[in-house]
Amino acid sequence: MENAVKLKIPNKVDYESGDNWGRNKWIIIMAYLNANIPPIYAQIRKEYLYDNKKHHGEVEDCIVFGISCITGRAILWHAIMENGAVFYRLPITAFIQRGYEPSTVPIKRLDELELWNSFSYYPAVTTYDILSGQHGKYIGKDKEMASW
């Protein structure tokens, strides 16, 4: 119960009289809106930092470190740049894998890269050690085989 917080609930109807009056109750606090993820070393397309108005085709190194979940919307990502600037709530389309030339990476629509919107404001992230660093293949919405 390391995430539990001890609270006194003096004004709730169920606890206004009798043996329960003023007793301490435990409430589990869950992550709300944001969650930590293992760091991902990537490149960010600079046009996402300038409202898609300039710096097209340019990238800058960054570290993606968190996500934000808003019900009914795509998962958004948090990144820190090499100069220390932090950008919150960027779409996955803003990033490419580090070491690739931007001109060789195909531009995909958001719905091709992220098949579902967030179901909740309470994200949970699970990292499986055995899958860390593994490569895989998948069939996208366009029915084409892709690998990563």
75 and 14 assigned to the same domain: no
Residue 21 lies in a domain: yes
Instruction: Render each residue's pLDDT in the chain as its tens digit; 148 residues.
Output: 555 555 554 444 444 555 555 565 556 666 789 999 999 999 999 999 999 899 999 999 999 999 999 999 999 999 999 999 999 999 999 999 999 999 999 888 999 889 889 999 999 999 999 998 888 888 888 888 877 6
pTM, to two decimals: 0.75
**Residues whose CB is less than 8 angstroms from the CB of residue 36 and which lie 6 or more positions away in sequence, other chains included:** 65, 66, 125
Which residues form the domain of 12? 1-30
Is residue 122 classed as helix, strand or coil in its secondary structure? coil
Contact 78, 89 (CB under 8 A): yes
CA–CA gap between residue 69 and residue 33 (Å, rounded): 5
**44 and 16 co-located in one domain:** no
Same domain (yes/no): 51, 20: no
Rounded Cα distance between 46 and 67, Å, is 19
* Residues 55 and 39 sit within 8 Å (Cβ to Cβ): no
Residues 3 and 67 in one domain: no
